[in-house]
Amino acid sequence: MSWKVSTPWLVIAALCGLQAGASAQTTAAAPMRENGPTVTRGPQPGFAYGSEVALGGGVMNFTGVTARAMTGVGGSWNVRLGIGTRSIIGAELAYLGSAQSISAAGLDPDAVLLGNGAEAVLRLNAPIPMQYGGGVVEPFILGGIGWNHYSVVNDDFNTSMVKENDSVGMVPLGAGLAASYAGFVADARFTYRLAFDEALIGSSKLHSWALTANVGREF
């Protein structure tokens, strides 16, 4: 089995192992007494706590000169599962999608470049508790590994240098700002994805950037 086929399954297995380890650490509520009655503290940042399901979207494009000249700024979307949403160290597993125009000599002008992939990242968070309500504001940075499969669709002919499909390895690096309150979570992030083992447009590099916003539910 080739590396291109096995990578997403290795990514999923690695994150599942991380989630199982984090789940084994339960965050006990710390009771304290105020004039007799017992008051229970809420979840405290800095400990293994919290998980989320979020979805979102934004814009993306390639950074390589050739790939950028042949494609337009595209739309991107994602679905994310996260653990450690209020912890200093967290992790995410995500499905990624994208669509953008592509043009080349010998390629149907109606062609669209469609991307579908997955990535797993570790997040280094700096949770800052809100003064009231148990909410958290959280700057973060991320890094990980991923995979994307690009397909040229909606084309009736293609005699160009662009392949009909190609699988690409990725190294996502990024930063963002998240906020959670009353069980809801939102974040905005910038991600740069280094590509490797690509052959979609000859030897052209498929490094890309994405600016996205996500909303979801924290558990």
What are the tens digits of pLDDT across the range 142-151?
999 999 999 9
| In the predicted structure, residue 15 carries a pLDDT above the cut 80 | no
What's the number of domains the chain is made of?
Answer: 1
What are the residue ranges of helices labelled H in the chain?
A: 3-23, 65-70
Q: Kindly report, residue by residue over 173-206, the tens digit of the pLDDT.
A: 999 999 999 999 999 999 999 999 999 998 899 9
The answer as to whether 197 is a domain residue is yes
The answer as to whether 133 is a domain residue is yes
The answer as to whether 127 is a domain residue is yes
| In the predicted structure, residue 52 carries a pLDDT above the cut 80 | yes
In sequence order, which residues have a C-beta less than 8 Å from that of residue 97 and are 6 or more positions away? 76, 77, 78, 114, 115, 116, 117
The answer as to whether 193 is a domain residue is yes
Tokens of 7: 């990578």
**In a 10 Å sphere around its CB, with 0-12 CB exposed, 13-18 middle and 19+ buried, how is residue 97 labelled?**
middle
Domain hosting 202: range is 3-18+48-218
pTM for the model stands at 0.77
| In the predicted structure, residue 66 carries a pLDDT above the cut 90 | yes
| In the predicted structure, residue 27 carries a pLDDT above the cut 50 | no
The answer as to whether 26 is a domain residue is no
The answer as to whether 35 is a domain residue is no
pLDDT given at position 203: 87
CATH number at residue 155: 2.40.160.20
The answer as to whether 182 is a domain residue is yes
The answer as to whether 109 is a domain residue is yes
What Rg do the C-alpha atoms of the chain give, in angstroms? 21
